[in-house]
Chain A
């Protein structure tokens, strides 16, 4: 068991930090204020070979390890969770294609999608299908060599910014056994952007409604196996959730580092507030929880690397990391006192942004259900029905 970074990983961490100090940290507050992310960061990250390092070399990636990828995500997340989510969107869809796609899918799409410029988006949620992802009502019907899509997606991240959308939709009547994923490129006739939503968390990730009215796309745009989309999604989530977990670790670390700085500078009753036991207790708890969350996430990523099943470990890491991010950022605001509530200190942004973690990519409640199901070896309300 090795808990230390390799020499390469130590350097990688420094290099990504250097990148973030230059490109991310100085802009993070501005992204939040203007609710606009600067997508040129993605190209810069790609130029450094730091975008989607886990993608295999044959598909333009680096063939790097999941821990390397996590190091990159944590550093970016430390300065801006928004930037981490946005930059991951430039390789997630290619990764999805790699994990669940057919051979034709891989040949046709991965290089095209993963070019260091294009942004992806995933449209799963609908007005009545959120956590219960299998109840989607957007339909795709095959007409000749084309899919005809109708329906409305909601809470689509990267809305209007993405070059292509992966749409989770219904291709057959069966609840779990009728779900597929279809790729729709931007500007495809029949796909329009509807109502936009103004967020308090990760404000710069454009979000809202995506409407399909007889939107036609080629048959080859089906990603993965027909009607097995739900199962594929679950497999994918085992990994993707870990990247939100490490983003949560990053943001919590940011909150801790800011708090440490503040606690040493801010003086009350004639001494730095960091000398008061109650502040110290908060700092100690914050650091401990962050460390535990990071180790849990690394453990699950390492299991993925070794080809082991890690559904439970992923859900535990995702659950724990997102909940401690919430606690840690809350405490960071508390340590900052009145300053914590001002827009001039970043902790309020960390606190708002962290809130995404226990909701996105499966709520904490769903993670608990998955963990319990794994523990009890009982019927998993979600997974097992999908396997029918």
Chain B
């Protein structure tokens, strides 16, 4: 059973260019999106039980290769990186299209795993959208997953309840953080990983047209980034810590909040 895990590289720390309002990626180290690590961990435990091959699929600049090596060190078998300038600036729809195009090219993929959301944009869109492009069912917010023959049995973590569902394979599953504790690769894992293949494909290799990917393939765009406006009149308390505390305590008491 072959498994694909969609992986995104996210900046280790969030910094904003305060004049342009864009996310600064230059000079900030990229790491695997935390939730995607849970997806990789799940893939590896499933492989240990059911066999098969795990392929990581990602889109981004060349340095995403290091991030993918981390995933390979966790136990994936190979990685594919869609690396092309024309893919830059993609929104979730264009991203999902490119990822799905790669997955269609891989042999006999039975299960596609994604993290529930990314730490940088956090839209939660890509999983369901990849599933749609592949024409397979999606099971989101999964906290436990079993493979039973040609079916999966997944426990979904919803607001007040857990819902257990069955779906036929192939299927796409998005996982929540609580599903497992991702393994940390060992030193030897890291060196083994660097021997595994990371294929870099450009848009042309995948037959992707310029208007299907990147900014052109993205129906949404950000037109403005701005600081949130003050919603309340904030009373700044000044003076010694003792004065501040007692005046605040008095105010809270007089409002009946204490």
Contact = CB atoms under 8 A, between A and B. Distances in A.
Q: A and B: direct contact (Cβ < 8 Å)?
A: yes
Interface of A: 6-8, 10-12, 14-15, 18-19, 47-50, 53, 62, 64, 68
Contacts of A62: 187-188
B116 to A, nearest CB: 20
B86 interface: no
Interface string B60-92: 000001100110010000000000000000000
B193 to A, nearest CB: 7
A8 B69 contact: yes
Nearest to B65: A7
Interface residues of B, number: 17
B191 interface: yes
Given A19-B184, A53-B187, 18 more contacts: A7-B66, A7-B69, A8-B69, A8-B193, A11-B66, A11-B73, A11-B185, A11-B193, A12-B187, A12-B190, A14-B29, A14-B66, A14-B70, A47-B186, A48-B185, A50-B186, A62-B187, A68-B187
Interface string B144-187: 00000000000000000000000000000000000000001111
B22 interface: no
Given A7-B194, A8-B194, A11-B190, A18 B69 contact: no
A15 B31 CA distance: 10
A10 B67 CA distance: 9
Contact of B70 (A15, A49, A64): A15
Nearest to B187: A49
B70 A11 contact: yes
Contacts of B66: 7, 10-11, 14
A8 B190 contact: yes
A50 B189 CA distance: 11
Interface SS of chain B: helix, strand, loop or mixed? helix
A19 B182 CA distance: 12
A50 B73 CA distance: 14
B186 A14 contact: no
Q: Which 9 pairs across A and B sit closest by C-beta, in order of nearness? A: A49-B187, A49-B186, A10-B66, A11-B69, A8-B194, A11-B190, A62-B187, A11-B70, A48-B186
Contact of B188 (A7, A10, A14, A49): A49
Contacts, number: 49
Contacts of B193: 8, 11
Contacts of A19: 184
Contacts of A6: 194
A19 B187 CA distance: 12
Contacts of A14: 29, 31, 66, 70
Interface centre among B31, B65, B187, B191 (most CB of A within 10 A): B187
Contacts of B190: 8, 11-12, 15
Interface SS of chain A: helix, strand, loop or mixed? helix
A53 B188 CA distance: 10
Nearest to B195: A8
Interface in B203-229: none
B7 to A, nearest CB: 14
B184 A15 contact: yes
Contacts of A11: 66, 69-70, 73, 185, 190, 193-194
Contacts of B194: 6-8, 11
Contacts of A48: 184-187
A68 B190 CA distance: 12
30 contacts: A6-B194, A7-B66, A7-B69, A7-B194, A8-B190, A8-B193, A10-B66, A11-B66, A11-B73, A11-B185, A11-B193, A11-B194, A12-B187, A12-B190, A14-B66, A14-B70, A15-B73, A15-B185, A18-B184, A19-B184, A47-B186, A48-B186, A49-B187, A49-B188, A49-B189, A50-B186, A53-B187, A62-B187, A64-B187, A68-B187
B158 to A, nearest CB: 29
B31 A8 contact: no
Interface centre among B184, B193, B194 (most CB of A within 10 A): B184
Nearest to A44: B184
Nearest to B186: A49
A218 B188 CA distance: 37
Nearest to B183: A48
Contacts of B188: 49, 62
A62 B187 CA distance: 8
A53 to B, nearest CB: 6
Contacts of B69: 7-8, 10-11
A64 B184 CA distance: 18
A70 to B, nearest CB: 14
A47 B66 CA distance: 23
Interface in B44-70: 65-66, 69-70
Nearest to B29: A14
Nearest to B182: A18
A114 to B, nearest CB: 15
A373 B190 CA distance: 42
